[in-house]
A and B are shown apart, each in its own frame.
Chain A
Amino acid sequence: MAYTISSTEIQKTTRALQPARPTPWAWLMLPGSIFLAVLFVVPLGWLLLLSFGAPDWTIAHFVRIAQNPAYIGVLRTTLQISCVVTALTFVLSYPIAYALTTGGTKLRTFLLIAVVLPFFTSVLARTFAWVVLLGRNGVINEILLQLGWVSQPVALLYNRIGVIAGMTHVVMPLMILPMLTVMSSIDQRLLRAARANGASPLAAFLTVFLPLSLPGLIAGILLVFINCLGFYITPALLGGVSDVTITMEISAQVVGQLNWNFGAALSTVLLVAVMAVLWLGSRFFPIEQLLGFSDDKIGLDKTARRQMGTQWLMRIGSAANALDRWLPSMGGRGIPIFASFLAVLLLLPVVIVAYLSFSASSYFVFPVPGYSLQNYERYFSDPLWLRATVTSIRIALMATTMATMLGAMLAFGLSRGRIRGRGAMIALVLSPIIMPTVVVAVATYFVLVQVGLQGTEFGLALGHAVHAIPYVVVIVVANLRDLNPTYERAARSLGAGPLATFRTIIAPLVMPALIVAAFLAFLISFDDVVYVLFLGIGRIATLPMRMWEGITQDINPTIAAVATLQMVFATIVIFVNTLLGRRKAQS
C-alpha cells in the first residue's frame, strides 16, 4: 500500500515519456483493464446492488445498521481503534522516518532493515508474534513475573490493548515509507541555509523541515487510517469479544450467517467511510494526485491552505530560537538513539518468533530451555503442512503469472501509450490496494459464486492477481522512468525495428524490475489469508490458512517455525531486490 505514494511519479513519468502522437502502446492496457473491470469493478458494483437488496430494492439493511445499537457499537469500536492506532503510529513513526532521512549511513541501514523486514513479513506472522508476546503465558508476562513486578499474569491479549499494540506494529511501515519518500526529497541544504540565517537546530526543524515534510505526514496518516478501518487479521486474532470491528462483522455476516445482503450493506458502509476519508484528505493534500485521479496541477490554493500552519510553525520556531541560548545544548544524539530504540521495538516481535522457533520445548517458554530443530522437523514431516505449502505455491504461481504479465502490459501502456482518461485508468489500477481487502474479497466472492469458481484454487489466484497488479504496475513504471528513451532512439537509428528494439533494448533493461515485481506478487499471494477466508474457506487449505487455524485453535510452536520460514523468504525477496537495484545502479 505504501507504494501508492509513487502514483504521483507515475503521472510525471508517463507524461514525460509520452510521444507526440497516439501509439499502439495504448493497446497493451486492454487485457489488464478488462481483467480489473471484470474482477474488481463488477464485483464492487454487484456488492453495491446487493446492499440495496437487489433485485428487491430496499434500504432496510442500512436502516438496520443505523438503528441497531450493536452495529453502532461496531462502528464506534472500529473508529476508536483506528484513531488511537493512527495517532500512536504517527508518534512512533516520525522519529524513525526523521532519523532515516538525516542519520549516518550505518544508522540508516539499520533503520531501513527494521522498517522493511517487518513490512515484507506477512501480517499473519507478525500478528502471531504478538499472540506469543502478549498471551497469558506469553513472553511479556513471563518477564513481568520473573521480575516480580506482577504476581499474576496480566491480561494483554484478547482485549483492546492487544489489538492496539499489534495493529500499531503492523501498520508502522505504512506510515514510515511515505514519510520517508517526502522527507528524503527535502534538500538538506535548506536546513543549513536556515542555520546560517540564525536558526537553532530546533528552530530550523520547526520552520523548514516540518512544513516541508507535511505532505508525507498527511499521506502516511491517510494510508494508515484507511488501512486501520479495513483491517481484519490483527483485530480478529488479538481482539476480545468487545472489540468487534466492522470487518469482523462483515465476515460473520457473509461467511458465518450467509447473510449476503446485510454483509454487502456493511461493506458499503466501510467503502463509503474509506472514500470519505480520502475525500477529506484531498482537502489538505492533493490526494487526487496521489491516487492518480487528476492530471496534476497542484494549484496555489493548496499551498495557501498550508500557509496557516506554516505561519504558526514560524512563530513557534522563532520563539524556540529565542530560548536557544538558555536551553542546554542537546547534542545530536537524542534522536538517533530514540529512533534506534523504536526500531528495535519494531524488529523485536519478529526476532522473538524466530528465536522461539528454535526452542527445544513443545510449548512457548521464554527464555527457551534449549535449542532444537524439532519445530522445523515437525513442519517438514507433517503431510498437512507440506500439502498446504504446495497448495500455496501453486496458487501463488498462478497469481504471479497473471499479475506480472497483465501488470507489466498495463505499465507499458500507461507509460508509453496515449489515451483519454489516463488519470481514471491509473486510479482503477491502483485502487485494489486502497480499498479494504475484506470488501474486495467479499465482492469477488459474490461474483465467483455466480460462475462456480468459489472455492477453486484458480478463483483464489484471480483474487490474488487483482491485489498484486497495482504493485507490479508501480514497480515497472518506476523502472520505465529510468529507461532513457534515447537508448531506443539510438537502436532505431542503428537499424533495429520496433520489435528488435523491444527485444534487444527494452526487455533486458526492464527484466530486473519484472523479477522484483514477480517476487512481490508471489509474496502477496503466498502470504494472503483474507482472500482465502472468503474465497476458499473450508475448501482450500493454504499455508496461511493452516497458520490461521493454528493460531485460532491451538497455538503450537510449529507455527513459529513456519512464520520464521516466511520471514526468511521475505528476506530473500528484499535481498534480491537490493541486489538487482545495485546491479542496475552500477551499470
Chain B
Amino acid sequence: MLMRAMPSSTDVKTGGIALHSLQKRYGAAMAVDDVSLSVSPGEFISLLGPSGSGKTTTLMMIAGFEMPDSGRVLLDDKDITRLPPHRRELGVIFQNYALFPHMTVAENVAYPLRMRRVPKAQLEARVNRVLDQVHLGAFAARRPHQLSGGQQQRVAIARALVFDPPVLLLDEPLGALDKKLRQHLRNEIKTLHRDVGKTMIYVTHDQEEALAMSDRVAVMHEGRIRQVSAPQDIYRRPADLFVASFVGEVNLIPAKLRSGVAHGPADETLAAPAWSDGDMDATLCVRPEHLHLGTGEAAAPGIQGHVTGMTFVGDATIVEFRSNSGLQLTSKVLNISAGAMLGVGDNCTASWATNDATILTE
C-alpha cells in the first residue's frame, strides 16, 4: 500500500513502466499486436493514433482491466500482468471521467483513501490539499452533475492524484471538451506533470495535443506501435508513411533514387538527403511549410507546374499546386508581409531544402 507522507516529486525513482510484446485479440481482430514500450519514471508519453488503433486497449492492459493474451506489463521491474486492478496503485483518468454520481466531489476524491482505510483526520487533510491543488476547494460539497465539464475533469484528476500513485494513465481526458477549454486544461495537465513529477501515459487521437504535451510520442496504427520518438522527431523524421501522413499535413512525392540522385515523376532532379541503400523507388515527404513555390530565374530546381487554388486561413495562405505530371502538392506560406503573391494559374516551380525532405520506402 502506498501512503507516503511526502509528495512524490522528491522521489523520481518509481513509476517506470515496461510493456513486453503485449498482444490482445478480440475474436479474429488483433486489437493490440506485439506492443513493446519502455517508459521511464517521471516521463510524459502519449499514445497517439486514430480511433480503433488499440490505444485504449493498451492502456487498459496497463491498468489491469484487460488481460493480455501474451506479453508482460512491468511496473518498476515488477511483473504486474496478473495483478488485479485495485492492487496496482496506478491512477486512471477515464474517458468521460467516470465520477461517481451518487457522491459529492469530496466523497469522490476521498474514495481511494476510504478504500485504503486511511484514518479520518489524515483523509480529510489529503482530500482538501488535493482539491486546493486543482482549485476546487469551494466545490467540495457539490455533486458531479452540478459541475462544468472542465471542473469534472479536475475532480477526476484530483481523485487519481489523492492516493499518490507513481503513474497516471489518462484516456482521452479532454475528448469531451470544447477547443478553448482543451487548450487551457492541456497546459494545466502539463504544469501538473511538472509539479508532481509522476509518470504519465496519455492516450489521445489529437496529434496537436500529443505533440504539445509529451516528452515522447508513440504513434499507434492497427494495434502496432509505428514509431516512438520525441515530438520534433515524429514530425520531422517520420518513420513511415502512416506516421508522416497521420501527424500533420504532408506532401508525398514518388521518387526514383538512382546512383545518388533523386528523380521526380517527370524525371526532374529533386532535393533529397543522402541515402545508403543503393537504387530504389521511394517516397519523399515534404511538409507544406517547407515547400517553396518560385517563379522565373530565381526559382530553385524542382517540379514544374502551376497554382490551382489559394485559401486564406488567417496566419497563412494554403497554395494548391499541380505539377505538369499531374501531382497535387500543397504549400503553406506564412502571411508575414503583404508582398506580391502568386495567383491562381501562375506557372511556378516547387522546391525544398535538402534537409526538409524525408525518404520513406515502403
Contact = CB atoms under 8 A, between A and B. Distances in A.
A197 B116 CA distance: 9
A490 interface: no
Contact of A318 (B98, B100, B114): B114
B217 interface: no
Interface in B129-181: 143, 159-160, 163
Contacts of A193: 92, 94, 98-100
Given A192-B92, A196-B94, A212-B102, 12 more contacts: A187-B98, A192-B65, A196-B85, A197-B111, A198-B115, A199-B111, A200-B86, A203-B86, A203-B115, A208-B100, A303-B102, A321-B86
A362 B337 CA distance: 102
B117 A322 contact: yes
A197 B159 contact: yes
Given A192-B65, A193-B92, A199 B98 contact: no
Contacts of B85: 192, 195-196
A204 B65 CA distance: 14
A442 B84 CA distance: 60
A318 B102 contact: no
Contacts of B94: 189, 192-193, 196
A4 interface: no
A192 B98 contact: yes
B257 interface: no
A252 B148 CA distance: 62
Top 8 closest pairs, chain A to chain B, by CB = A193-B98, A196-B92, A198-B115, A197-B112, A195-B85, A189-B98, A318-B114, A199-B115
A306 B111 contact: no
Contacts of A200: 84, 86
B90 interface: yes
Contacts of B100: 190, 193-194, 208
B63 interface: yes
B102 A196 contact: no
B96 interface: yes
30 contacts: A187-B98, A189-B95, A189-B96, A192-B65, A192-B85, A195-B84, A195-B85, A195-B86, A196-B63, A196-B92, A197-B86, A197-B115, A197-B160, A198-B89, A198-B112, A198-B163, A200-B86, A201-B86, A203-B115, A207-B111, A211-B102, A212-B102, A303-B143, A306-B102, A310-B102, A314-B107, A314-B114, A317-B115, A318-B114, A321-B86
A172 to B, nearest CB: 27
Interface in B94-125: 94-96, 98-103, 107, 111-112, 114-117
B238 interface: no
B41 interface: no
Q: Contact residue range for chain B?
A: 20 to 34
Interface string A155-198: 00000000000000000000000000000000101101111111
Contacts of B54: none
Nearest to A187: B98
B68 interface: no
Interface of A: 187, 189-190, 192-201, 203-204, 207-208, 211-212, 303, 306, 310, 314, 317-318, 321-322, 324
Contacts of B63: 192, 196
B61 to A, nearest CB: 13
Interface string B52-73: 0000000000011100000000
Nearest to A203: B115
B16 interface: no
Contacts of B231: none
A193 B92 CA distance: 7
Contacts of A195: 64-65, 84-86
Is chain B's interface secondary structure helix, strand, loop, or mixed overall? loop
Given A193-B92, A195-B84, A199-B86, A212 B101 contact: yes
Contacts of B87: 198
Interface string B319-359: 00000000000000000000000000000000000000000
Contacts of B90: 196
B302 interface: no
Contacts of A187: 98
A317 B116 CA distance: 11
Is chain A's interface secondary structure helix, strand, loop, or mixed overall? helix
A12 to B, nearest CB: 15
B15 to A, nearest CB: 16
Contacts of B115: 194, 197-199, 203, 207, 317-318, 321
B42 interface: no
A203 B116 CA distance: 11
Nearest to B169: A196
Contacts of A197: 86, 92, 111-112, 115, 159-160, 163
B91 interface: yes
Nearest to A197: B112
A317 B107 CA distance: 14
A322 B98 CA distance: 24
Contacts of B86: 195-201, 203-204, 321, 324
Nearest to A188: B98
A205 B206 CA distance: 35
Contacts of A194: 100, 111, 115
A356 B271 CA distance: 87
Interface string B12-36: 0000000000000000000000000
Nearest to B146: A300
B91 A196 contact: yes
Contacts of A208: 100, 102
Contacts of B95: 189
Nearest to A204: B86
Interface string B280-317: 00000000000000000000000000000000000000
Nearest to B107: A314
A200 B160 CA distance: 16
A207 B95 CA distance: 21
A216 to B, nearest CB: 13
A200 B111 CA distance: 12
Interface in B222-244: none
Contact of B117 (A189, A190, A306, A321): A321
A281 to B, nearest CB: 19
Contacts of A317: 114-115
Nearest to B95: A189
A266 B112 CA distance: 55
A96 to B, nearest CB: 23
Residue with the highest number of chain B CB atoms closer than 10 Å, among A193, A196, A212, A318: A196
A329 to B, nearest CB: 8
A314 B87 CA distance: 19
Contacts of A212: 101-102
Nearest to A329: B84
Contacts of B163: 197-198
A187 B65 CA distance: 15
Contacts of A306: 102
Contacts of B116: 198, 321
A330 to B, nearest CB: 11
A418 to B, nearest CB: 28
B173 to A, nearest CB: 13
A91 B204 CA distance: 44
Contacts of A310: 102-103
Contacts of B99: 193
A102 to B, nearest CB: 14
B125 to A, nearest CB: 18
A189 B156 CA distance: 13
Nearest to B85: A195
B65 A318 contact: no
Interface string B195-223: 00000000000000000000000000000
Contacts of A303: 102, 143
A328 to B, nearest CB: 13
B27 to A, nearest CB: 12
B350 to A, nearest CB: 46
